[in-house]
Amino acid sequence: RTREQERTSERENERERERKRERENERERERTNERERARERARERARERTRERERENKRERENKRERENERERTRERERASERTRERERARERENENERENERMRTSERENERTRENERERERARERTKERERERTSERENERARERERARERERARERERARERTSERENERERERARERTSERESERESERERAREREHERERESARTRERENTRENTRENTRENERESESERERESERERERERERERE
């Protein structure tokens, strides 16, 4: 019995040791599994960290691309704004050039009108001087003719006194010559009247030309009126001289 008990006890002990080993193995397996799970969790955490880093890197790349795209859009907007400003500046320069060209054209037109007006005034002054020279020449010619006629009258009076000192035959011849001179004077008066009519016609034509120029050249109107008054005065003086010559001829 004792040996049986011992064997039983030994078997019990062996079973206990077996159970103990089993439990130890179980615990070892559990520890191994736990370590494996821990390693798996570590690997999972590592994979998760990797995935997180990848996601973070992806987000960073996305953000970087977005920032780059935003910067590119900003640069594009800046370039578009700059192009718009450049076009606006170009339009402004073009408008300014156009305004400057218009000012230059306006100034040139003003200068041309000024030069044309000055040329017109110069032509008017030249015409006025020409008419004055013509009137002066006419007056000089008239005075020369008047002096010639005065000398002729003086010579006639001298011849008349000489004829008075001659004989009756000379008086007859003188009367004949007087008749001839009368005829000549009549011819002279007729010629003078013709010249007077021609001068009057010339004055009328001059007046017509003056009126025509008055219609086309407003800026010479005052000179033309002055010339007309001068012409009128000259006609008056001419008429007065004509009457004086007529009285002189009557006295002769």
* Residue-level pLDDT at 71: 92
In the chain, which ranges are continuous DSSP H helix?
2-164, 168-216, 221-251
pLDDT at 219 over 70: no
pLDDT tens string 57-80: 999 999 999 999 999 999 999 999
Confidence band, pLDDT 50/70/90 cuts, at residue 81 = very high
CA nearest to 206, candidates 234, 181, 248: 234
Q: How close are the terminal C-alpha atoms of the chain, in Å?
A: 220
What's the rounded mean pLDDT across residues 175-194? 82
* Residue-level pLDDT at 242: 85
- In percent, the amount of the chain with pLDDT more than 90 equals 39
* Residue-level pLDDT at 1: 67
Confidence band, pLDDT 50/70/90 cuts, at residue 213 = low
- Between CA 90 and CA 185 the distance in angstroms is 91
- Between CA 231 and CA 228 the distance in angstroms is 5
- DSSP SS3 for 219: helix
What's the rounded mean pLDDT across residues 30-55? 91
pLDDT tens string 107-133: 999 999 999 999 999 999 999 999 999
